Amino acid sequence: MCGILGIVGNVDVAPLIVDALKRLEYRGYDSAGVATLSNGTLDRRRAEGKLVNLQRKLQGAPLGGHIGIGHTRWATHGVPSETNAHPHFSAGVAVVHNGIIENFAELREDLKRDGYGFASQTDTEVVAHLVARELGSGKTALEAVQAALKRLQGAFAFAILFKDDPDLIIAARNGPPLAIGHGKGEMYLGSDAIALAPFTDIITYLEDGDSAAVRRAGMQIYDVDGNPVERRCQRSIGTGYLAEKGNHRHFMEKEIHEQPEVISRTLSHYLDFANDALRPLNLPLDFAGIDRIALSACGTAYLAGLVGKYWFERYARLPVDIDVASEFRYREMPLSRNSMALLISQSGETADTLASLRCCRTQGVPIGAIVNVQESTIARESDVTLPTLAGPEIGVASTKAFTCQLAVLASLVLHAAIQRRTLTPDKARDLIRTLSEVPRYASEVLKLDCKIEKLARTLANYKHVLYLGRDTNFPLAMEGALKLKEISYIHAEGYAAGELKHGPIALIDENMPVIVIAPHDRIFEKTVSNMQEVAARGGKIILITDEKGAARTTIPTLETIMLPDVPEFIAPIVYALPIQMLAYFTAVHTGSDIDQPRNLAKSVTVE
């Protein structure tokens, strides 16, 4: 969370920094700021709220200077306000920070005893003072930062600007990512390569524990012990994109509509469509020798993993232990020698998922990661990356990344099933063919937008919504609830339909719509019984099903959304679309900020 930007350049950098920060706004958007050094003076502009507020401030009071740092914030310590916005200053030092300094309270007391005053409630301000104190004791800027780093516990990425050196930004990383961009006579620094795309695509990523002195003529990286080190310089892929909404009102709407195309692109990486076969996977293991998968992820990626668990166990007879990564990392689960770890992450930077990966690394098991951002830390640290080719996902609510994660999981399950001989070659071919049909079904479902939009107008009037589903529709019920609450702020819960009578049924009345996700499958009739239980208590049912399902149900519904008849294997991918669309249109009607909902950020790099 929080986006960092820095430029050591040859023209006024403040407008360039603010422009580049727009590409980092997905990391946080509750305040923003920029600091530059001009004629020996450090100056800054900061504003609460989105970048546009900072832009307005800069229009009224421009900042000159050919070197500067900028920040877009997702608050951890201290409310979103101008005072807490970065950059933070101490004598001759300006700091922008992403992450959390866990021992900041203790450091703050120590600095106060030395006479340092604090203007903000942030943990970041201690870093500015620590560096200033070290500088005051006669150290060089680099020595001062390296000495300060030794005092810090937690996860952080910094960019630091010095009043006395108009040719230096010092960067440091321990946890959240930091990319250094190489220009011609200019250098750049950013939380990701996409932010630096307008300037350069030649990138060096800092590794954990690294610090770097970045100057116009180039940079030098130092390892955790302060020794100079070389890190690979690479041409970044995918930085050429420009985040545009096209004809859509929101990125989320655009990304929902991109799904047929990006699912197809992702599937074609794993499937040989022409021969109904799987493409070879570059896995350093054979699923036949694996007896368990430990899967962890967060949020929507976790729910994709939960669908994967049903598939792995059903089709490949391979047990899956699945956890939310924030639990997995601390629950000390022993992994057997024959198990493998599987992580799922759109951003590839989620702190808890990365920590889970590192836990698995200490246990020596092979590590696979389903990742959308190919240059991310999780992609770089896993043994094998299984890419989702969804393209950049800008809307905070994950949509196309989710269905692409499902497409990769389904492909992986078929690999496992073939290697473990749990499917006959004919059945496997049949399922591969079925999987390749997903983009076509997804296009069909998108045509339901008018009907779903109309239903959303009604849904937007409620305060609570319950989602129910069985089997792979249970994770979808939770995903539907997650989508609705995060973008429309309507309280929603997703339950296994069979669990209804064990508690949530107490909530059912005419004010609680119940969305039932129930394609006509093996256990459809069981879900119908649960719908009866809802109807008997005056609950209003919204049924998402297919033609057969609609024909078999006599229970009155508030609305029935009828999808094409879809083979059971791929139903979770296809049924994801109407629940995304329903959440999207409902949020349009509640009038919330769909692409940047309150309190959220796209990339969660803190615990």
- Residues with a known catalytic role: 2, 602
Which one of residues 3, 299, 391, 513 is an interface residue with ligand F6R (CB under 6 A)? Answer: 299
Asked whether 71 and 3 are in contact (CB, 8 A), the reply is yes
Q: Rounded to an integer, what distance in angstroms lies between the CA atom of residue 284 and that of residue 453?
A: 46
Q: How does DSSP assign 296-317, residue by residue? A: EE-HHHHHHHHHHHHHHHHHS-
Site string for ligand F6R, 370-409 (x = CB under 6 A): ---------------------------xx-----------
For ligand F6R, which stretch binds (CB under 6 A), given 163-171, 271-279, 294-302, 420-428? 294-302
Q: If binding is defined by CB under 6 A, does position 527 make contact with ligand F6R? A: no
Closest to ligand F6R by CB, 221 or 371: 371
Minimum Å gap between C-beta 179 and ligand F6R is: 17
For ligand F6R, which stretch binds (CB under 6 A), given 18-26, 120-128, 298-306, 545-553? 298-306
Minimum Å gap between C-beta 485 and ligand F6R is: 10
Contacts of 430 (CB under 8 A, 6+ apart): none
Closest to ligand F6R by CB, 33 or 395: 395
Asked whether 378 and 392 are in contact (CB, 8 A), the reply is no
Kindly report whether the peptide bond that precedes residue 284 is cis, defined as omega within 30 degrees of 0: no
Closest to ligand F6R by CB, 148 or 298: 298
Q: If binding is defined by CB under 6 A, does position 298 make contact with ligand F6R? A: yes
For ligand F6R, which stretch binds (CB under 6 A), given 107-115, 292-300, 316-324, 449-457? 292-300
Residues 223-242 that bind ligand F6R (CB under 6 A): none
Burial 368-384 (b: 16+ CB within 10 A, else e): bbbbbbebbbbbbbbbb
Strands (E), 104-168: 154-162
Minimum Å gap between C-beta 604 and ligand F6R is: 5
Q: Rounded to an integer, what distance in angstroms lies between the CA atom of residue 522 and that of residue 544?
A: 16
Q: Rounded to an integer, what distance in angstroms lies between the CA atom of residue 181 and that of residue 208?
A: 18
And the tokens for 372? 């959308």
| Phi and psi torsions of 554, nearest 5° | -105, -5
Minimum Å gap between C-beta 304 and ligand F6R is: 8
Residues 427-456 that bind ligand F6R (CB under 6 A): none
For ligand F6R, which stretch binds (CB under 6 A), given 297-305, 462-470, 488-496, 514-522? 297-305
Which one of residues 72, 122, 300, 545 is an interface residue with ligand F6R (CB under 6 A)? Answer: 300
Closest to ligand F6R by CB, 358 or 433: 358
Contacts of 148 (CB under 8 A, 6+ apart): 127, 130, 131, 134
Contacts of 585 (CB under 8 A, 6+ apart): 449, 452, 453, 455, 456, 457
Q: If binding is defined by CB under 6 A, does position 604 make contact with ligand F6R? A: yes
And the tokens for 455? 């239903």
Site string for ligand F6R, 338-377 (x = CB under 6 A): -------xxx--x--x------------------------
Q: Rounded to an integer, what distance in angstroms lies between the CA atom of residue 341 and that of residue 360?
A: 7
Minimum Å gap between C-beta 300 and ligand F6R is: 3
Report the side by side order of strands in the sheet with 211-215. Answer: 88-90, 93-101, 154-162, 169-174, 211-215, 218-222, 228-229
Closest to ligand F6R by CB, 88 or 483: 483
Closest to ligand F6R by CB, 90 or 603: 603
Minimum Å gap between C-beta 353 and ligand F6R is: 5
Closest to ligand F6R by CB, 30 or 486: 486
Neighbours of 119 (CB within 10 A): 12
For ligand F6R, which stretch binds (CB under 6 A), given 83-91, 127-135, 299-307, 588-596? 299-307
Q: Which residue is nearest to ligand F6R (CB)?
A: 299
Contacts of 204 (CB under 8 A, 6+ apart): 179, 180, 182, 219, 221, 231, 232, 233, 234
Closest to ligand F6R by CB, 199 or 474: 474
For ligand F6R, which stretch binds (CB under 6 A), given 62-70, 213-221, 296-304, 585-593? 296-304
Q: If binding is defined by CB under 6 A, does position 486 make contact with ligand F6R? A: yes
Q: Rounded to an integer, what distance in angstroms lies between the CA atom of residue 100 and that of residue 149?
A: 13
Closest to ligand F6R by CB, 213 or 371: 371
Q: How does DSSP assign 474-497, residue by residue? A: HHHHHHHHHHHHHHH--EEEEEEG
Contacts of 18 (CB under 8 A, 6+ apart): 32, 34, 51, 54, 55, 58, 70
Cα separations in angstroms, 352 against 49, 601, 606: 27, 15, 8
Minimum Å gap between C-beta 466 and ligand F6R is: 19
Q: If binding is defined by CB under 6 A, does position 484 make contact with ligand F6R? A: no
Closest to ligand F6R by CB, 127 or 342: 342
Q: Rounded to an integer, what distance in angstroms lies between the CA atom of residue 384 and that of residue 406?
A: 17
Minimum Å gap between C-beta 21 and ligand F6R is: 20
Total residues binding ligand F6R (CB under 6 A): 14
Minimum Å gap between C-beta 352 and ligand F6R is: 8
Q: Rounded to an integer, what distance in angstroms lies between the CA atom of residue 363 and that of residue 360?
A: 5
Residues 456-475 that bind ligand F6R (CB under 6 A): none
Helix (H, G, I), strand (E, B) or coil at 214: strand
Among residues 186, 217, 190, the alpha carbon closest in space to that of 204 is found at 190
Minimum Å gap between C-beta 552 and ligand F6R is: 32
Q: Which residues bind ligand F6R (CB under 6 A)?
A: 298-301, 345-347, 350, 353, 397-398, 482, 486, 604
